[in-house]
Chains A and B, each alone.
Chain A
């Protein structure tokens, strides 16, 4: 881009070029400002407003909502549950998704396409339909999942899935699996196909090849997959709402309830803004860490 600008005649070029660049960027910029920046700024402002049962929203600047979130352990519990569920879902997708991607990558062409579709399946189904499906599988003590595991002798007594964090983690991990598999698969495709042969010829066992050669190279892919899965899980709404029910809330369902049930918009806004800020910090921070740690692989 800069090279193209540099090659133009020096006279009159800078101002005209700059103006043209701005003019060309303007439609997208306006859209971005209109649908992202302004609503977000309004939400942030809203979180500083006052609210009362009878007076409604008062456009003043107070820290009441933020103080409430900071002092009431109820909110700390909500947020710690949100991040605990997201972290566990991320862990499960990583543990299952990495081998899944590795096997997928080694498959031959007709099966590869078929199983890729199977893996992408959760993305092709409506989130509500998918989660209700899980609710049917979980369905109390007589749910299909429990019956199956008990008849297989995996568990002695039924596990409670509905309205528990366990159920949320399982359903979220399933929904997020495609993101992990795709991220790892992309990393696997960057690997020189001869590299496993090279390691084998030097005397490495298949296990050593995976541990010492493949895993370190796909680690950036695993971690970026983890970032995507974590941030999507932490802000997921439908799955926690259906599996968690009315009582077991996470940050996003809490914000929803404040907005639509309690009608305390300012408090809901504060919860939403805090969730957003925490996620941005986590994502940007871990991304920077990954890029520094794996600088050699990104060259």
Chain B
């Protein structure tokens, strides 16, 4: 199962710890995202896999072999850079062909593979264009074709879509995922965009301050965030304090006028975390008032003032009447939609 393995990889720059004890096993054909805010060490980790940086400690293995002993030019990894780093003095075809020339692929095979790679990214007919005569999206595709044409064992993507406008980015996400599925190339994507990470990856590695916060499928990290950081970084979330009332039997979890039967093993004050789209308006529950509502096309965003502080609620625009501004409401959610943490603690 383990194709690429990072074993307690760390990187120090002087006294600063950029990456600390990073351990991850990547399966063949898997699409992994390193997600985190800037400066969390995700790009540093990628550069260590690529060989542009040497880890301070730890080991990186590819198919069981020590990757750190291999110079970057022999690692055979395909890399797409944030700036694309295309060779401006070469045409699109020459750019894509470069890696094959370095591998001494014969001219006829090279030409066929270059044409196929450019066609795959939807750039057939652009062979003789120079990069500076192409749009950002087209340059991005050339960079992808250049990285994929060498049939890399692992494809590394360093924020490849961050320079594209929103619409193009969405198109490229779908296309990137399709190409990756068709080729079955093991891929690691570095991104700070949670939507991008969730829509592309099989698994997400959420990072913060050089440490791994959580590794899991997009659903796992979204539904069951392992830490407050993950909960807040991925999507919006509401957090408020609740107490466990042991006087009643069975024990109940109480937040203002909302209560539910307390799960086993919790006591005292806890923090409840609920996603805004999992909260509904009901007859009973946490009572509050709509402070403002914002129409967003496919959904409504409500800001509610409640007994437990401000709460955000997102309801789909499904044709049902929605509460108006200033209207008193009761907020309710299902026990399975919330996660509990001991109050005060960071996680």
Contacts and interface: CB of A to CB of B under 8 A. Distances in A.
Given A197-B81, A198-B79, A203 B89 contact: no
Given A296-B89, A299-B132, A202 B98 contact: yes
Contacts of A208: 102
Interface string B73-101: 11111110111011111000000001100
Nearest to A196: B85
B101 to A, nearest CB: 9
Interface in B82-138: 82-83, 85-89, 98-99, 102-103, 130, 132-133
B50 A197 contact: yes
B150 A202 contact: yes
Contacts of A216: 89
Interface of B: prevailing SS: loop
A197 B85 contact: yes
Contacts of A299: 130, 132-133
A297 B85 contact: no
Contacts of B130: 296, 299
A192 B98 contact: no
A199 B72 CA distance: 10
A203 B73 contact: yes
B87 A297 contact: no
Contacts of A29: none
Contact of B72 (A195, A200, A217): A200
Contacts of B146: 202
A162 to B, nearest CB: 44
A110 B275 CA distance: 51
Nearest to A299: B132
A52 B77 CA distance: 79
B50 A204 contact: no
A7 B78 CA distance: 51
Given A200-B73, A202-B150, A203-B74, A195 B87 contact: yes
A197 B43 CA distance: 14
A194 B81 contact: yes
Contacts of B77: 201
Interface in A256-299: 294, 296-297, 299
A213 interface: yes
Given A192-B83, A195-B85, A296-B89, A201 B103 contact: no
Nearest to B82: A194
B259 to A, nearest CB: 56
Contact of B85 (A192, A212, A294): A192
Contacts of A204: 73, 98, 102
A233 B254 CA distance: 88
A198 B79 CA distance: 7
Given A205-B73, A213-B87, A296-B89, A197 B79 contact: yes
B103 A203 contact: yes
Given A203-B150, A204-B102, A198 B85 contact: yes
Interface string A221-257: 0000000000000000000000000000000000000
Interface string B133-158: 10000000000001100100000000
Contacts of B98: 199, 202, 204, 212
A188 to B, nearest CB: 14
B89 A217 contact: yes
Nearest to B80: A198
Interface in B296-315: none
A205 B340 CA distance: 54
Nearest to A203: B102
Interface in B143-191: 146-147, 150
A294 B90 CA distance: 11
A225 to B, nearest CB: 18
B88 A297 contact: yes
Contact of A202 (B52, B82, B83, B102): B102
Residue picked from B50, B88, B132, most chain A C-beta under 10 Å: B88
Interface in B41-86: 50-52, 72-79, 81-83, 85-86
B64 to A, nearest CB: 22
Interface in A160-217: 192, 194-195, 197-205, 208, 212-213, 216-217
A220 to B, nearest CB: 10
A199 B87 contact: yes
A77 B333 CA distance: 97
A217 B132 CA distance: 13
A195 B83 CA distance: 9
Contacts of A198: 79, 81, 85-87
B83 A194 contact: yes
A195 B150 CA distance: 17
A296 B150 CA distance: 26
Contact of B79 (A201, A205, A217): A201
Contact of B99 (A194, A195, A202, A205): A202
A194 B85 contact: yes
Q: Could you say which of B50, B98, B130, B132 has the most chain A C-beta atoms within 10 Å of its C-beta? A: B98
A216 B89 CA distance: 7
17 contacts: A197-B79, A197-B81, A199-B87, A199-B98, A201-B77, A201-B78, A202-B73, A202-B102, A202-B146, A202-B150, A203-B76, A203-B150, A204-B98, A212-B98, A217-B89, A296-B133, A299-B130
Interface of B: 50-52, 72-79, 81-83, 85-89, 98-99, 102-103, 130, 132-133, 146-147, 150
Interface of A: 192, 194-195, 197-205, 208, 212-213, 216-217, 294, 296-297, 299
Given A201-B79, A208-B102, 10 more contacts: A195-B85, A198-B86, A200-B51, A200-B73, A202-B102, A202-B146, A203-B103, A212-B98, A216-B89, A296-B132
Closest 9 pairs (CB-CB, A-B): A203-B102, A202-B99, A198-B85, A194-B85, A299-B132, A216-B89, A296-B130, A194-B81, A201-B79
